[in-house]
Each structure stands twice: as C-alpha cells, then as structure tokens.
Amino acid sequence: MSLPIGEAVLGSTLNHWAAAVSHATPLALAGAGAIALMLTGVVQSGMERHGRIGLVPLAVLASLALAIASAPLAQPVWAPLAAGLVAATLARDREDALQAECALKLLWVTGPAFALSWAGLSLLTLATGTTVAVEQWAVLQLGLDPSFLWSTALPLELLAGLVLLGGAPFHFLVADVLQGVRPWLAASAVVALQVSGAAWLSRRLEGIAGFPAGRELVASLLGIAAFAAFAAGAVTLLVQRRPERRVGTLASLNGGLVLAALATAQPLPPAVLAAWAAHLALAVAGAATVARFLPTFAGPAPGAPLFRLHPWSGIAGLYALASLAGVPGTPGSMLWLASARSLAMAGRTGLLLLVAAAWIAALTAAMRQWRQAFGVSAAPAATWEAGVTRSPVPLQARLALWLSALGLVALGALRLWRR
C-alpha cells in the first residue's frame, strides 16, 4: 500500500511543480522586460536637471515595472492604479506644461472609461450574483436574465481595456505621452498603461466560451476595435512627421495586435501575454529614446548627429524601432505573424487583410525613419558638424539604447529556442 501512496504523492508533487514552473516562466519573461525598462528609465534620469534620480521617481518606475511584470497574472486591479500613478506623476512637476497637459488628457480619457467599466461590472454582478467572470458567464448561459442587461453591461466593462491599449480613437494619448513626457518616464508610462489594458480585457474574457451569445458579441466588438486601431494607425503613420509620434502610433498598433488576438473571444494565454509585454517594454524603451535624437524633417538632409558621432548606438535604437514595426528578422515580427495566424484560423479574412496593410505601413514608416536618421551622404560636412555642436548625445541615452537592443536580441533568441 505504501508504494501506490508514494507514487500518488510523488505525482501530486510533480504536478504542483509543473504548474508552478508554467506560471513562473511567463512571470520571469515579463519581469525581465519590466526590469530592463525600469533600468533604462533610471539611466536616463541622469539627463534631468539634478543629474540623479530621487526616491519618488524611483518608486514610480518600480511600481510601473511591477504592473508590467504581473501581466501574465492578468490582474485588472493594476489598470486604475497604473493610470492614477502616471497622472499624479505627470502633474507633480508644475513647471512642465506639456506633462501637465498629458496628465489632464489622461484623466479626461481614462476617468470616464473606468467609471463606465465599473458600471458595467456592477450590472453583471447585480444580475449574476458573483464577481468572478467564469461564474458570470455560466449564470448568464441559463437565460434567466434579460438580454439587454448583459448586452449593455458587456461593452461597458471592456471600455477601460480598449482605452488603455491605445487603439483608435484613443491612439493620440500614446503619442502625446511619448512626445510630451520626460524621457525617464515616457516609455514606462505608455507600456504600463497598455499592458494593464491587455490584462483587463484578458481577465474579463476568461470562461466566456461557455456563453456563446456573449462570445459572439465580444468577437464583434473587439473586431471593430481592432479594425479601427489598424486602419487609423496605418493612415496616421503615412502623414506623421515627428519621430516620437511615429513611435506612439507603432505602439498603438502593437496594442491592436492584442485586440486582433482577443477578437477570437479567447483570453490570452499567460505565455503569450508575457511575451507581448516583454517585447513592448524593450521595444518602446529603445524606440522612444532614439526618437528624441531623430530629425523631424521629411526630405533629404545630412542626418542626425547621433548617427554621425555614435552610429552603432543609433543602430541599436533603430533596431528597437524596427522590432516595434514588425520588420522581418526581429522579435516583433513573430508577434505580428502570430496575430495574423490566429485571425486566419478564426476565419477573420477582412481583419487579416487590414493587419497586412497596417504592417506594410509600419514597415514603410520604419524604413523612412532609417533613411532620415542616416541622411544623405553627399550633404556638406559643415551642415551636420554645426548640428553636432548644438545637439550633444548624452551617455545615458546611449546606454538606454543598448539595454533595449540587447534585451530584444535575447528575447528573440529565447522565442526561437522555445519554438
């Protein structure tokens, strides 16, 4: 009798460890990306007026990194906390008008979105008698509640996630933050908000397969949201001139990839959510940093001083930008391909074609940015030498570029190794 009992105990222990490892691996992946993003923020804080980071900014970066690292757990409670923390930090510096404007926009957009989402959650809780999403769908499947109640509450509770992901018509918020917020905070703020939005939506879709009517409604709503995100993002990329706003639009397109995956009305597996969060953290960190040293012109010019003085550091930043755009050979291309594959398997042909069009627009914007960064080799030397004198390249920015690029290379190698 002792042998079967021992085998049962051993089997139970192995299952427990297997479950722990399956949860620990996505957490480690998302945590590594969050730590790298936090380090880039800490490094870039050396470019601030005081030359070193204080305790409050360090606590803000650590809190946002924690919100990103917990993405595989899909904890929606981080969403309002992250949005409130970002808004409070932006409003803290009274001398920076751009940050104050971004804080106001963030409050105006996310405040009503959270209020409406909590109203939708309250309606479903009142109708089903439980706050657990899986149990709510099981109760609604019984057909005891009127359809207008849950069909009204369901879109409302998804609204906060849609806003935080930064898809159209809310894509302006991501671009504004990357353009107007200080370098040490901008990337962390954008990534924390988008990851919190993805976690919000993924948690609300748990178990919805047991409620076919709700599953069809969610697939339709998120399909429309993804359609708007890709269409508006593709058109916006073709007319934008400022590099920071291009990076913001590319980040919103990566949020659209999550919407496209969720348009199948299935929650994201923890490993998929962790890989997306880690890549977004690394890519936005590098792309947002290099964007501040890129020219805003659209025609032939001698190029940016960064690429004249430190070409390899500039290439490291452009690699992050290329991965954000899904250029083939980068880790980001795997995410675009995975999203397209999920749409093809679900039969969403129209949305799949739009994803392809948005991907082509992203590639075009990335290649244009590469060309503008290096400029025209035949330009007079005196032209760019004067620009070098006016635009020094801090060591902290170059370190941030290399941190993000090396992290992306490691992420790509890990993804290929695990295939």
Confidence of residue 415 (pLDDT cuts 50, 70, 90): low
Cβ 314 vs Cβ 286: under 8 Å: no
Residues 102-108: contacts with CB under 8 Å, at least 24 apart: 102/176, 102/177, 102/180, 102/181, 105/173, 105/176, 106/173, 106/177
Query: What is the per-residue pLDDT across 235-262, written as a single tens digit (0 to 9) for each?
Result: 988 888 888 999 999 999 999 999 998 8
**DSSP string over 205-244:** TTTGGG-HHHHHHHHHHHHHHHHHHHHHHHHHHHH---HH
Cα 136 from chain centre: 28
**DSSP string over 285-354:** HHHHHHHTTS----S-----HHHHH-HHHHHHHHHHHHHHHT-TTSHHHHHHHHHHHHHHHHT-HHHHHH
Cβ 37 vs Cβ 320: under 8 Å: no
Query: What is the per-residue pLDDT across 253-308, written as a single tens digit (0 to 9) for each?
Result: 999 999 998 888 788 888 888 889 999 999 999 999 888 888 776 555 566 677 77
Q: Is the pLDDT of residue 20 over 60?
A: no
Range name among 2-11, 41-50, 90-99, 142-151 with the lowest pLDDT average: 2-11
DSSP 144: -
Interhelix angle 2-44/395-417, rounded to 10 degrees, is 150
Dihedral sign, Cα of residue 222, residue 111, residue 167, residue 36: negative
What integer pLDDT is reported at residue 31 of this predicted model? 85
Tokens of 335: 């995410």
> What pTM was computed for the model?
0.86
Q: Is 137 helix (H, G, I), strand (E, B) or coil?
A: helix
What integer pLDDT is reported at residue 266 of this predicted model? 80
Query: What is the per-residue pLDDT across 52-82, written as a single tens digit (0 to 9) for each?
Result: 556 778 889 999 999 898 887 767 778 888 8
Cβ 218 vs Cβ 154: under 8 Å: yes
Query: What's the mean pLDDT when you consider all of the chain?
Result: 81
Neighbours of 49 (CB within 10 A): 5
Confidence of residue 384 (pLDDT cuts 50, 70, 90): very low
Cα distance between residue 403 and residue 400, in whole Å: 5
Cα distance between residue 138 and residue 125, in whole Å: 13
Cα distance between residue 221 and residue 205, in whole Å: 13
Query: What is the per-residue pLDDT across 133-154, written as a single tens digit (0 to 9) for each?
Result: 888 888 888 877 678 888 888 8
Cβ 203 vs Cβ 131: under 8 Å: no
DSSP 164: H
Contacts of 244 (CB under 8 A, 6+ apart): 175, 178, 179, 288, 291, 292
Cα distance between residue 160 and residue 82, in whole Å: 12
What integer pLDDT is reported at residue 358 of this predicted model? 93
Inter-CA distances, 333 with 162, 187, 329, 415, Å: 23, 20, 7, 11
Q: Evaluate the omega torsion of the peptide bond into residue 302 and state whether it is cis, within 30 degrees of 0.
A: no
Cα distance between residue 258 and residue 195, in whole Å: 10
What integer pLDDT is reported at residue 292 of this predicted model? 85
What integer pLDDT is reported at residue 375 of this predicted model? 67
Query: What is the per-residue pLDDT across 40-51, written as a single tens digit (0 to 9) for each?
Result: 888 887 776 654
What integer pLDDT is reported at residue 299 of this predicted model? 55
To which H or E segment does residue 127 belong?
helix 97-128
Inter-CA distances, 214 with 41, 168, 349, Å: 41, 23, 22
What integer pLDDT is reported at residue 383 of this predicted model? 44
What integer pLDDT is reported at residue 253 of this predicted model? 93
Highest mean pLDDT pick, 15-19, 200-204, 394-398: 200-204
Residues 88-93: contacts with CB under 8 Å, at least 24 apart: 89/57, 89/60, 89/185, 89/189, 90/181, 90/185, 90/189, 92/56, 93/182
To which H or E segment does residue 45 belong?
none
Cα distance between residue 89 and residue 45, in whole Å: 14
